[in-house]
Structure 1
């Protein structure tokens, strides 16, 4: 059994989209699950979950990766930004 950490939303969307591509190409579910399992190093059971999601929702929008952005601001400006947030 393959065991690993959870993937982030970007990787999840990529995997579901790969599953949707395989399903859209007419690849049988069992063969698509084996392909996804070997491609992403997951179990066939998890690969089937990606396929189920792809068949239910189609392609997912891949979210943009987020980054940490830190700046120094005057205290008064930081207070105004917090008040508006």
Structure 2
């Protein structure tokens, strides 16, 4: 009987894999803040706050989906080789 799993879980995710996603998210934040500041000078500044909130809330699920799928694509299951001392009982 073997103890443990015959596979090892290995994550190969690096910062370079998500760098583009981080830059895209920062661009979304800056664009929404810029549009909020542009609308702040209008007669109804509530629209500015609603617009910024709407942009951030609607873009967050897409960001999380991108992060999660990138992470799942970099998880590997590698078979473990049995040690010589384990095979001798």
Normalising by structure 1, we get a TM-score of 0.31
Normalising by structure 2, we get a TM-score of 0.30
Structure richer in strand, relative to its length: 2
Q: Is the radius of gyration larger for structure 1 or structure 2?
A: 2
Higher relative contact order, structure no. (Cα contacts within 8 Å, ≥ 6 residues apart):
2
